[in-house]
Amino acid sequence: MHIQRASDTLLCQVFPATLKGQARTWFYSLPPETITSFVKLAKIFVEQFVANRRIAKDSSHLSGIRQNEGESLKEYFQRFFTEARQILGVDPELLRGVFLGGLRPGPFYSALMRDTVHSYADLIHRVEA
C-alpha cells in the first residue's frame, strides 16, 4: 500500500494501528470528532509526546556527577565512566578534569594532587590499580 498517496481519512484510520502503549491509550481517549484532518492529528500527537523524547547528553552533564559520601573510588569511577560513554566526541582531557573535580577529599584525591595525572588513560590506570 502506498500511504503517501492515501486520502486524509485513510491516514487517520491507519494511524492508530502504528501506536503502542501510552500513545495508543492517549489516542483512544480523545473525545469524538477531535480529529478533523491528518494534519491536525499529527499536530496534537506531536504536542502530546514531544516531551517524551530522549535528549542527548552533552559534556556539561558530567559536571554534575560527584563522588557520594561513602562511595568507593571504583564505584564513583564506574558511575562516571558509564555516563561518559553516552557522550559522543568528548575530549579525554575534559573527562580527566571533570572526574577529578568530582572527587571527595581523601587519600586518593591527595595522592592525585601530589602526583600529577597526565591523561585520562593515566587516571583510569591509577583507579584500576
How many angstroms separate the Cα of 68 from the Cα of each of 38, 85, 86, 103? Answer: 50, 20, 21, 9
Instruction: Tell me: pLDDT of 107 over 70.
Output: yes
Q: What angle do CA 119, 70, 126 make, to 5 degrees?
A: 20
List, for residues 53-64, the tens digit of each pLDDT value. 666 778 888 999
Q: Is the pLDDT of residue 33 over 80?
A: yes
Tell me what pLDDT residue 1 has.
47
Task: Note the pTM of the prediction, 2 decimals.
Answer: 0.55
Q: Tell me the pLDDT tens digit for each residue of 34-86.
A: 888 888 888 888 888 777 666 677 888 899 999 999 999 889 999 999 999 88
Angle between helices 73-84 and 120-128 (to 10 degrees): 140
Separation of alpha carbons 81 and 83, rounded Å: 5
- Which residue in the block uniquely carries the three cell numbers 502506498? 2
